[in-house]
Amino acid sequence: MGERGSSAGGGLDGIFIDFYGTIADGDRAVVEHVCRRLIEECRLDLKAPDLAVRWGERFFAAIATHNGPAFRTLFECECDSLVETLGPLVGRFDPAPFVEELRTYWRLPPLHAEARQTLADMTVPTCCLSNVDRADLMEALRQHRLRFDFVVTSQDARSYKPDPAVFHTALRRTGWRRDRVLHVGDSLHSDVLGAQRAGIAAVWVNRPDRIYDIGQARSAHTIRDLSGLAPLLAAHA
């Protein structure tokens, strides 16, 4: 899948937009399914949603420490955080087969109902900006036949949102001005806080039934789904 640069006249230079949870469905259901597998196979006295939250907290802690020279891929961070979560309960085990189920999902997640039409109607250039390994995201885009002007992943930047380095990488690659960009995402922690740290205005997509999020940041703009982008883009034209 190729990438091409362009710049919008007038208001915005472009839009940064998250993928999982924003364009595609988040992985809450598959995470909880993996947790149910773990509970059954390891005979744990836990509920899947509770285990998912424990794992999620350790995952957020893991990616916060793996930016720059200490970078590890998302797959590795998921494995590490799962071992940290379950190790005290079950001892040594191989997390890879369980995290592989997540990777399978990352490569073909269902799109939100309004996502494809919203992207087709976009009047400014778009950069897909995701906390995921590049090969997995590119496979998802290929499967769904989605095309963006730019694609920047955490693996490209060796940085995870909310670390501002991933946003700085996207600004360099696109050539867009930070005061002429909106970042659109569903996570208060990763997307809204990350954009704010990089000096970029954030649009929070506050969908119901989102995956566990440790974020407390406040966004300047809140929409329920991507169909709410059109009036915001019109206001910035």
Residue 1 has pLDDT above 70, yes or no: no
What pLDDT is attached to residue 156? 97
Residue 6 has pLDDT above 70, yes or no: no
For 20-178, where are the alpha helices, taking DSSP H only? 28-42, 48-64, 74-90, 96-107, 115-120, 134-144, 154-157, 165-174
14-25+110-235: in CATH 3.40.50.1000:
yes
What pLDDT is attached to residue 7? 40
Provide mean pLDDT across the span 201-229.
Answer: 83
Contact assessment for residue 18 and residue 129, using Cβ atoms and an 8 Å cutoff: yes
Residue 3 has pLDDT above 70, yes or no: no
pLDDT tens, position by position, 124-182: 999 999 999 999 999 999 999 999 999 999 999 999 999 999 999 999 999 999 999 99
pLDDT tens, position by position, 150-163: 999 999 999 999 99
Residue 58 CB contacts under 8 Å (≥ 6 apart), including other chains: 81, 82, 84, 85
Residue 10 has pLDDT above 60, yes or no: no
Q: Where are the domains of the chain?
A: 14-25+110-235, 28-107
Which CATH architecture best describes the domain 28-107?
Orthogonal Bundle (1.10)
Task: Give the separation between CA 90 and CA 50, rounded to whole angstroms.
Answer: 16
90: alpha, beta or left, given left = phi > 0 and alpha = psi -120 to 50?
alpha
